Each structure stands twice: as C-alpha cells, then as structure tokens.
C-alpha cells in the first residue's frame, strides 16, 4: 500500500501590538505550489506574544487537510514554547518550572491542538531582516491593527 504524500505548505506568521498591552494584529502568508493566501486579524486589547501565537494558530487552522507545513516565525517566544517548554508545561499540569500558571495557556493549548493536525517543521527567521515572507506577514499583522480603527 502506498501512501499519498502530504500537501506541502510554507507559512510565514507574525504578530504586532501598538502598546503592550494594546491594540494588536496578526498576519500569515500561506503558500502551496502556485497557490497563495493571506490572512490577518486584530484584537482591541492584547499583547505581542498573544498575537504571535494567534498568527500561527490561524495559519494552521486555515488548512483544511493534514499538510506538511514549514512554519517560518520570528518569535523566539513561539519557537521556545514549541521546541522546549511545551512538553514540561503539559507534564506539570500547565505550570512553569517555577510552579506558576503558564501565560497564554488558552493559546498554547489551541496551538498544540493545531500542530497535532499537521506535520510541522519550525524555522526561525530574524524579524525585519529582508525575508520576503516575514515582511509580508509583518505588513498583514499591522493591517490587522489598522482594521480595528475602521
């Protein structure tokens, strides 16, 4: 029996916040072959970390089928959470090593759920360094903030 390869998707995500906390936005660029999709949104009162998490969640949520996703993020918070901290948080009942509640637990749980649906490879990119996908995601995140003002 042969298995069908998963659709390949490249995603760039970013969050923005005008004040921390303050009005915030998130953006994502999804590419699969010749197909491309842009997503963005905003929240009236939030933090940059919440918007970074929301961008990744919404990017993965937008995929209707299991995919092989290469996720490009510029957030050390998201990268460290997914690659280092998450297993310990889950093992410790969503408590940090210092026994304090995990900040943004609702979003970490949602992200964990979305990541489980896909085959995800994490790639960290330096923000504002000329990576075209990251620059577009940043512009979309700022568009998310601006959408709150209209």
CA torsion, ordered 132, 122, 124, 71, to nearest 10 deg:
20
Helices (H), 17-75: 48-61
Q: Is residue 137 a contact partner of residue 28, using CB atoms and an 8 Å limit?
A: yes
Which residues are CB-neighbours of 8 under 8 A, at least 6 positions away?
Answer: 32, 33, 67, 68, 70
Report, as residue numbers or ranges, the catalytic residues: 14-15, 52, 74, 128, 138
């Amino acid at each position: 029996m042969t298995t069908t390869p998963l659709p390949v998707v490249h995603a760039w995500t970013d969050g923005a916040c005008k004040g921390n906390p303050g009005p915030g936005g998130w953006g994502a660029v999804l590419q699969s072959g010749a197909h491309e999709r842009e997503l963005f949104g905003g929240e009236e009162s939030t933090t940059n970390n919440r918007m970074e998490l929301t961008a990744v969640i919404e990017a993965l949520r937008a995929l209707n089928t299991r995919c092989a996703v290469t996720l490009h993020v510029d957030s050390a918070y998201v990268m460290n959470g997914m690659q280092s901290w998450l297993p310990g948080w889950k093992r410790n009942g969503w408590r940090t090593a210092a026994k304090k509640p995990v900040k943004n637990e609702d979003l970490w749980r949602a992200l964990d759920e979305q990541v489980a649906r896909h085959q995800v490879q994490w790639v960290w990119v330096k923000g504002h360094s000329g990576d075209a996908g990251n620059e577009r995601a940043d512009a979309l995140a700022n568009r998310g903030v601006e959408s709150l003002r209209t």
